């Protein structure tokens, strides 16, 4: 299996690996949800299947309280049978052309998940490539946003998150993240 790891500062690492996010243990697993919080295909379907019905029951309660989750936002539930304590259901933007606020909305998803993580004292968090599936975000552009936000968060020693794992589905998504990471490093 493909995997690569970088140290941002002492004890703070970003890992990129190929795989199924439902099989990777972390304190919090991030889901690429939709604003209805109703479940769907892709990683959302995989998370609900592997986590079991308790996650949707909890989302039913959240939906009853807040209605839809806005694009760029995220809500937290417990993780059911997944190897995690929490699932953060993040609502990424549907990609149109990149000029309709998509980068800001995608960055907002990552920041919101990292805030939910800090509020819960999460030390390890895993992310899929939010918006880069059915929502059509070009994978390299999505990777640049994701890696920038997460690396910045890990660069702050006051934060509780110590390890972020990007779990990419398939070799081409993994290679895209790897290429973007190398570009970001070279630009420093
Ligand atoms: P979105 O609607 O936000 O685009 P998708 O679930 O369609 O969400 O896709 C997001 C990314 O998650 C895609 O790159 C897709 O290949 C990937 N993906 C699908 N299933 C899994 C899984 N089990 N683990 C990790 N990533 C997954």
Q: What is the pLDDT of residues 124-151, one digit of tens each?
A: 999 999 999 999 999 999 999 999 999 9
pTM for this prediction: 0.98
Q: How confident is the model at residue 112 (pLDDT cuts 50, 70, 90)?
A: very high
Give yes or no for residue 187 having a pLDDT over 90: no
pLDDT, residue 185, reads 85
Q: 185 forms bridges with which residues in the sheet?
A: none
Helices in the chain by DSSP H: which ranges?
A: 42-51, 54-66, 102-119, 139-154, 171-186
Q: What angle do CA 131, 136, 142 make, to 5 degrees?
A: 50
The answer to whether residues 4 and 16 touch, using CB atoms and an 8 Å cutoff, is yes
Give yes or no for residue 109 having a pLDDT over 80: yes
pLDDT, residue 162, reads 98
DSSP code, position 172:
H
63-67 CB contacts, 8 Å cutoff, 24+ apart: 63/36, 63/37, 63/38
What region does 163 belong to: left with phi over 0, alpha with psi -120 to 50, or beta?
beta
Please tell me which residue in 27, 44, 97, 171 is annotated as part of the active site: 44
Look up 60 and say whether it is catalytic.
no
Pick the CATH number of 3-187 from 3.30.1200.10, 1.10.1740.10, 3.10.20.30, 3.40.220.10: 3.40.220.10
Q: Which residues line ligand 1 (CB under 6 A)?
A: 20-22, 32, 42-44, 46, 92, 128-135, 167, 169, 173
- How far from each other are the two terminal CA atoms of the chain, in whole angstroms? 28
pLDDT, residue 56, reads 98
pLDDT, residue 159, reads 97
Enter the tokens of residue 133.
């599936």
Nearest CA to ligand 1 atom 21: 43
Give yes or no for residue 186 having a pLDDT over 90: no
**Domain segments of the chain as ranges:** 3-187
Q: Which atom of ligand 1 is nearest to the CA of 92?
A: 3
Q: How long is the chain?
A: 188
**Which position has the token pair 């020693």?**
157
Cα of 13 vs centre of ligand 1, distance in Å, is 23
DSSP code, position 94:
P
Cα of 118 vs centre of ligand 1, distance in Å, is 24
Q: Which of 36, 37, 32 is nearest to 136 (CA)?
A: 32
Q: Quote the CA–CA distance of 7 and 100 in Å, as a whole number.
A: 34
pLDDT tens across 33-51, in order? Answer: 999 999 999 999 999 999 9
């Amino acid at each position: 299996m493909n995997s690569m790891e970088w140290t941002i500062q002492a004890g703070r690492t970003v890992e990129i690996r190929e795989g199924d996010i439902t099989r990777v243990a972390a304190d919090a697993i991030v889901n690429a949800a939709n604003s209805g919080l109703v479940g769907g295909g892709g990683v959302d379907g995989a998370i609900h299947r592997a986590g079991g019905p308790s996650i949707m029951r909890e989302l039913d309660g959240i939906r009853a309280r807040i209605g839809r989750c806005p694009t760029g936002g995220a809500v937290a539930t417990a993780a059911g049978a997944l190897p995690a304590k929490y699932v953060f259901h993040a609502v990424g933007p549907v990609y149109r052309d990149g000029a309709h606020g998509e980068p800001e909305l995608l960055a907002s998803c990552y920041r919101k998940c990292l805030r939910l993580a800090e509020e819960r004292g999460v030390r390890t968090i895993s992310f899929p490539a939010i918006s880069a599936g059915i929502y059509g975000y070009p994978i390299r552009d999505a990777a640049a946003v994701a890696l920038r936000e997460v690396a910045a968060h890990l660069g702050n020693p006051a934060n509780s998150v110590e390890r972020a794992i990007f779990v990419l589905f398939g070799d081409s998504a993994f290679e895209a993240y790897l290429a973007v990471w190398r570009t970001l490093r070279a630009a420093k």
